[in-house]
Structure 1
Amino acid sequence: MSTSASNLGSSSIRSSRTGFVGMAGSGRPSRPGQLDSAIVDQLSGGMDPQEINEVSHVSAASLLDKVHHTTDPEVVNRIVTLVDREGVDIVAELWSDAPADSLPGTLWRLYLLRTWMRRQGDAISRLWRIGEPTDTAASAIAGVDAAPNAADMARTADSILSGAFTGDFAVALGRAAAFCEVIARGLAATTPTFDRAPQAAQHVQAAQRAGQAGKAQAAARKTANSLMTTARDFAKAAQLWRQGKLE
């Protein structure tokens, strides 16, 4: 059974405002508990774009610093599950416009990667097994065992994001990059094909199937390309972090 972009819903990754297509499906919360109330009040009242940019950078750095300096596992868990508990809308308003080579833009993509992996675990685990049929360096870097299932995807998602906050940030980004590359390979390998020379008696049905397959191919290519772009974004951010230039 092949897995196409349609099996993954609209949760592909892209380097634009939303980071992952269609991930902001949850209702808007009143305010996320881990964001300063004054910041949220300003957001709801409308802020100057420059002010939003400044707040996004300050809030991302503060959040990362807060968790790096705590030994309380409950604090770590609250940060990792922030989007689960509070919804994505306000966090998106704060971070989603940030460039991919910035700290808030990188954290935004990490949060959305986790959400995507947990929501689409079955489809993504199948794509992993296709993109990584035998263990390579990517398996070791991403920290994914052979033949993972949806539960493994959820654990990996949590591990990557929590590792970003509690461990080496660049290592976590390397894991995220390797993961995206494998899923992109798996998706490319499952791109559907169709008969381009149908029998005359079957030309109507064949044309319909060809049209559907063509749309599926286009969607799969778009998602795979988006995943590869996100992998490059994570890899570049890791390099900038090591150089002390990810802000």
Structure 2
Amino acid sequence: MPVRPVSQAFDAHRTGSTRPARPAQLDDVQLNQMGSGLSPEQVSEMSHQSALALLHRVHESKDPALVTRVLTVVENEGLDIIAELWEKSEPETLPGMMWRLYTLRLWMRQNPESLSRFWRLGEPVVGAASAITGIDEAPTAENIAATADSILAGAFVGDFSVALQRASAFVMIEAAGMDLLAAREAHELPELEERRLADSDTRRRMAHISALRATASRLAQTGKDFRSGAALWKQGKLE
């Protein structure tokens, strides 16, 4: 299964209904106002308030049913409701981190086979960082899916900075694996002077290599965003 390309953080395609929904019972008035002609400043303030309210409510409750409901809001309601709240938030903000955590989970669950392969390539390169994620050296697709849930769940019921550190380590290892695979595939291509531009297979392979490298670059940046977010949270500056 090919990995979906990433955009701002991950290419977690929007699915499901666009109707207002209530992840962890966010205020209906807030959700109904999203995208209804509010100024950018008002939308930004609402994004920050909703992220903080959701995080604190679940953390204080620790109700397993509520945690499950929050984790599966994308499956049940579609990514649009999360996007309306947080997609445009800057990475050094709480809603920006929440958006990236949700899209990371969806991306991991959509591509478990491919990501397990990239992990096995990248883990020896990155090394000790793999211990942070809690993933085995040779993860299965089921391991990847379970880790996707545990990272997001940890953001709500554990130490938020630890969840961000786990997310950072995971995407950095995946990026390393993609870079290594791209290098191997590039090495296997015929020498430049032997390539025929009319060769559709060569063009396809070159496009695949280019996509891998671009995805790895964006993942590496997202990993840095997660790491920066973890540091800001520890300092009490992630808002």
Give me the TM-score of the superposition, normalised by structure 2: 0.91
CA contact (8 A) 1:142 1:178 kept: yes
Task: Determine if the alignment matches structure 1 residue 226 to structure 2 residue 215.
Answer: no
Among all aligned residue pairs of Structure 1 and Structure 2, give the percentage whose two residues are the same amino acid. Answer: 42
Instruction: Please identify, of 111-120 and 188-197, the stretch whose mean Cα deviation from structure 2 is larger.
Output: 188-197
Q: Which AA in structure 1 matches 2:107? A: W
- The residue that corresponds to 2:227 in the other structure is 235
Counterpart among 59, 78, 86 of residue 95 in structure 1 = 86
- The residue that corresponds to 1:76 in the other structure is 67
Superposition pairs of residues 13-28 of structure 1, within 5 angstroms = 14=7, 16=8, 19-21=9-11, 23-28=12-17
Aligned-pair CA distance for 1:85: 1.2
Runs of 4+ in 1 over 6 A off after TM superposition: none
- The residue that corresponds to 1:43 in the other structure is 34
Aligned length: 233
Deviations 1:49-81 (A, max 9, x none): 111100000000011110110131111111111
Aligned-pair CA distance for 1:173: 0.6
Superposition pairs of residues 1-247 of structure 1, within 5 angstroms = 7-10=2-5, 12=6, 14=7, 16=8, 19-21=9-11, 23-34=12-23, 35-43=26-34, 45-133=36-124, 136-191=127-182, 192-193=185-186, 194-197=189-192, 203=196, 207-247=199-239
SS at match of 2:61: coil
Instruction: Please identify, of 229-238 and 68-77, the stretch whose mean Cα deviation from structure 2 is larger.
Output: 68-77
CA contact (8 A) 2:120 2:177 kept: yes
SS at match of 1:190: helix
**CA distance change for structure 1 residues 135 and 196 in 2, over 3 Å: closer, same or farther?**
closer
Q: Which AA in structure 1 matches 2:170? A: F
Unmatched 5+ stretches in structure 1: none
**CA distance change for structure 1 residues 38 and 195 in 2, over 3 Å: closer, same or farther?**
same
Aligned-pair CA distance for 1:214: 2.2
Aligned-pair CA distance for 1:20: 1.9
- The one of the two structures with greater contact order (alpha-carbon pairs below 8 A, sep at least 6) is 1
Aligned-pair CA distance for 1:100: 0.2
CA contact (8 A) 1:134 1:146 kept: no
CA RMSD across the alignment: 2.0
Provide the C-alpha distance between the structure 1 equivalents of 2:155 and 2:197, rounded to a whole number of angstroms: 53
Instruction: Please identify, of 45-54 and 130-139, the stretch whose mean Cα deviation from structure 2 is larger.
Output: 130-139
**CA distance change for structure 1 residues 130 and 80 in 2, over 3 Å: closer, same or farther?**
same
